Amino acid sequence: MSCGIYIVNYKDDERRRRMSQRVKSVGLDAHFVAPVSIEDPRIKDQPITTFEKRNWSIFFQHVDCMREFVENTTYDYCIVCEDDVVLSRNLKEEIPEIISLYDQTQLDILLLSYLWPYEVAEDNYFPVLQRTDKWKIQGYPGDLWGAHMYFMSRAHATVLVERYTAEYALAQKETPFCTDWQFTKFGRRGLIVPMVGLEEGEVKTDHQGQIDFHRSVFQFHYRENKFI
């Protein structure tokens, strides 16, 4: 079974270079799609705020990663990863194990990284779905965030590409049209413990609460001998 890795990057050459090197260093190849700006035809003339347009641009670059995977490759699975994630040094060897767990648990989406600055407990909040000596696959609640590194099959990616259009975004009002709500909460979902990717902890925002939270996740989980 084969798996492609797609990196979401918006015109940041340094991040692109850094992520390309990380993926290469673990023996894999990084794939990039064209950046999606707020001038994209799916976004430009929509009756939404500039803030929403920025969310849509990120969202549709994720969608375009999935579209490239579905329409132009023969991979069986894909990982979509944002451009500020450190990776497990053993990711290439771990991918077959991840595929096996994903299939056994009959998931649609599996978070390989997520925003949780604590140990993941075994409780009703994070029910255990599958367990091996090395890994746990656990369910997660609706208020857990983290769309910066996730895994899915060709079948589920096809569903998402067909589902998430500008027309869908305008029609639905229940949740914000952003990656953390639409991708990670749709279908049968799980997360992997321990993580195999970890957001760097420095985010492009001036919101101090978000800065502190992202940094705390990194500080809690980062181990130099595990991530590169």
Is 32 a domain residue? Answer: yes
Is 210 a domain residue? Answer: yes
Instruction: Kindly tell me if the per-residue pLDDT of 207 is higher than 70.
Output: no
**Residue 32's beta-bridge partner residues?**
7
pLDDT for 45: 92
- Rounded Cα distance between 139 and 65, Å, is 25
Is 179 a domain residue? Answer: yes
Q: Please report, for the domain that includes residue 216, its CATH number.
A: 3.90.550
Indicate the number of domains in the chain: 1
Instruction: Kindly tell me if the per-residue pLDDT of 47 is higher than 70.
Output: yes
pLDDT for 26: 95
Higher pLDDT, 67 or 145: 67
Is 227 a domain residue? Answer: no
Is 228 a domain residue? Answer: no
pLDDT digits (tens, 9 = 90+) for 157-177: 999 999 999 999 999 877 888
φ/ψ bin of 203: left (φ > 0), alpha (ψ from -120 to 50), beta (otherwise)? beta
Structural domain of residue 165, as residue ranges?
Answer: 3-221
pLDDT for 131: 95
| Predicted confidence band of residue 1 (pLDDT cuts 50, 70, 90) | low
Instruction: Kindly tell me if the per-residue pLDDT of 138 is higher than 70.
Output: yes
Is 226 a domain residue? Answer: no
Tokens coding 22: 């990380």
Is 111 a domain residue? Answer: yes
Is 78 a domain residue? Answer: yes
pLDDT for 12: 94
What percentage of residues in the chain have a pLDDT greater than 70?
Answer: 96
